[in-house]
Amino acid sequence: MKTKLLLLALVVLSGSNLCQAQTNDPAPADDWKPSSINQSGKPYPQVNSERRVRARVVASAAQSVQLDLGGKKYPLTKGDDGAWVGYSAPQDEGFHYYQLNIDGASVPDPGSLYFYGASRWGSGVEIPAHDDDFYTLKNVPHGQLREVFFFSKSAGKNLRCFVYTPPGYETELSARYPVLYLQHGGGEDETGWGSQGRTPFIMDNLIAEGKSKPFIIVMANSYVPGADFGFGATNQPVQPETYSRAIGGPGGRRYNPAAFARVLIEDLIPYVDTNFRTLADQPHRALAGLSMGGMQTRSIAPANLDTFSQMGIFSGGSIATNDIADLAGFKKKVKLVFVSYGSRELGGNRMGGDPKASTEALQSAGVNCQFYVSPDTAHEWQSWRRSLHEFAPLLFNANMNPEPNPRAALNRPVVLGPDDKAAFAEPPAGFATKRENIPHGKLEMMEYDSKTVGTKRKLNVYTPPGYSSEKKYPVLYLLHGIGGDETEWERFCTPDVVLDNLIADGKAVPMIIVMPNGRAQKNDRAEGNIFAAAPAFATFERDLLDDVIPAIESRYSTASSREGRALAGLSMGGGQTLNFGLAHVDTFAWLGGFSSAPNTRPPQALLPDPAVAKNLKLLFLSCGNQDGLINISQGVHAYLKTNDVPHIWHVDGNGHDPTHWRNSLYWFSQQIFR
């Protein structure tokens, strides 16, 4: 398996050659536009709405010119002006390397920018993608991409890497950051992720949207100069023995896995930790890569678990349970394993194994392992851009809690300010007592297919008294805490009873309440170390948006608009509510965070643009004045107040307990859908 994967990792990266047209294709659509990565002012190459590429080059003395793209050569036709013009079959969305072949010589196109791939500088073309918004340059705060030189003792040379520092790195001088070491593929170099991969824009946008924690990214060259057969052999745990040989790469380049591992562990990481403001420990360090870089990750990271806690393998194999000698130690130290592929790579099991099955086996063994498939792409940059976009929000989430012991945080001293007072009176006696003389709603447990998790999952649904498919009902999605599940609200706070009474008294709009399980992983029970499931609570964002809401709206008669959707939660669920809701005000118009826990993103990350929250119908924050976590909500309230964002801040006399959550639901449910 390893031999096949190593050969795959060193294949020239050329994009997909699927569905290629024949020479007798109909004429292409005549809506050609210059590629977005052309040299300034150059009209060619061009791309049309069919995703074809048209090239033009003046070579009046040439006898034959071809466009070499996607593993196929397309003939160009010479015109009376001496220019050769021709076009390709439709290509996949995203970035593709290409060359022009003039009388047998492959040369770059003088119209395009140049990119390093297949062990040479060559041309690139960008096919507009339907989802290119996530890597588009936007008017958001930007990080910096730095060219950095460092001396490697193991190689005996000065080497180059590129370092991305997130927005605010230059101004927030007391802040320290986690680090992701991100490696390129075969025949590429340290420029790949920053250029072809669009890494700075992907990260800037994710951070601006509050979807990713800010972190540093280091992109180094896997090809160590001078490293040949036997270089870097070591008894230290930087590489398995089977990887301590040099491997021939594209264009005759040689890659020595052990040599790069020594540079990474002995030289690069110490240099970065010394010269950048890093959180220099294992929980705050990750390793990932594409193709050959994915192979590096799956060999280096498991052999150095005191150095790396999180790993991403993009189109580079996977980790099977039988690859792990000490599974218990692996589970203890590894916070995240992320495996991804393009959908067209998986056919025929050409990876030498089933990465999805390996991922599921790790999940069943209790490892936080995520599997992602990029739709309609192959072994190409669009797969890896999407992989980074999915991977980055999962990184370092287990460490976002600033408290070393979350339980201890509940007992910390409470410091109250002048704003920390009740916005509402105590609810009336009996508000949560079941009344027999009024109509009652219905609670039912429902199953749905979660594509995010890859299994069927459960959620608890309340339908109001008199529910009828002839009416449209708004929906409140109500999230539980870190130790709960889809039954927690029913067990401790009886939302069905509270709403039955409010609806009977005309104080609340009849609504559906959906209580899902916010622990988005195969085993979603609150078992063992409940804090170890923190990454799954972040993953739930996609489960909620992509699976839960569509399942509810297909089964129940709902008001399927943002004005008809509310999101609220207690503790961990309160943090999820603010994290997800403020990032998706186009989906939810009403938000309620009750005793929001430390998983809540910092206010600046929650709302980089405070004006966005002004589109909400209601933003409701509450906490008890005996709650050691009140500082989380106080910080959000202060930020909202400073930026003139309308919201309710309600502080009652309770602690981090069901009494506060039940009372908050009582007042919140009366404010929404009106």
Q: Are 211 and 254 in contact (CB under 8 A)?
A: no
Instruction: Kindly give, in sequence order, each residue whose CB lies less than 8 Å from that of residue 160, ignoring residues fewer than 6 positions away.
Output: 147, 148, 149, 190, 221
Domain 17-91+94-127 sits in CATH at 2.60.40.10
Under a CB-based contact definition with an 8 Å cutoff, are residues 199 and 388 in contact? Answer: yes
CA distances from 95 to 35, 51, 116, 218, 444 (A): 10, 11, 13, 22, 48
pTM, two decimal places: 0.58
CA dihedral 595, 597, 600, 604 (to 10 degrees): 70
**Distances from the Cα of 130 to the Cαs of 51, 133, 363, 493, in angstroms?**
11, 8, 32, 44
C-alpha 295/C-alpha 324 separation (Å) is 15
* Whether the domain at 17-91+94-127 and the domain at 420-671 fall into the same CATH topology: no
Cα separation values, 641 from 576, 607, 610, 616, 638, Å: 21, 12, 10, 15, 5
Cα-Cα-Cα-Cα torsion 657, 661, 667, 673, nearest 10 degrees, comes to: 170
What is the sign, positive or negative, of the torsion defined by CA atoms of 296, 302, 304, 307?
positive
The dotted CATH code for 133-397 is 3.40.50.1820
The per-residue pLDDT for 238 is 35
Strand partners, 53: 47
CA nearest to 398, candidates 281, 239, 484, 254: 281
- Tens of pLDDT, residue by residue over 152-194, are 999 999 999 999 999 999 988 888 999 999 999 999 999 999 9
Maximum distance among all Cα pairs of the chain, rounded to whole angstroms:
95
Q: Which residues contact 133 (CB under 8 A, 6 or more apart)?
A: 205
Compute how many other C-beta atoms are within 10 angstroms of the C-beta atom of residue 472: 13
Tokens of 577: 């509510």
> What pLDDT, on a 0 to 100 scale, did the predictor assign at position 347?
66
Vertex 670 angle, CA 668 and 671, to 5°: 70
Domain boundaries, the chain: 17-91+94-127, 133-397, 420-671
What separation in angstroms does the CA of 530 have from each of 254, 551, 594?
46, 27, 20
Which of 193-218 are b and which e, b meaning 16 or more Cβ less than 10 Å from the residue's Cβ? bbbbbbbbbbbbbbbbbbbbbbbbbb
Between CA 405 and CA 382 the distance in angstroms is 40
- Residue ranges of the chain with pLDDT lower than 70? 1-25, 228-255, 347-352, 398-412, 529, 531-532
CATH architecture, domain 420-671? 3-Layer(aba) Sandwich (3.40)
Q: Identity (one letter) of the amino acid at 422?
A: A
CA atoms within 13 A on the CB side of 476: 31
3-state secondary structure (DSSP) of residue 289? strand
- Residue 427, phi then psi, degrees to nearest 5: -60, 155
Give me the sign of the Cα torsion angle 309, 313, 319, 324.
negative
Strand partners, 165: 144
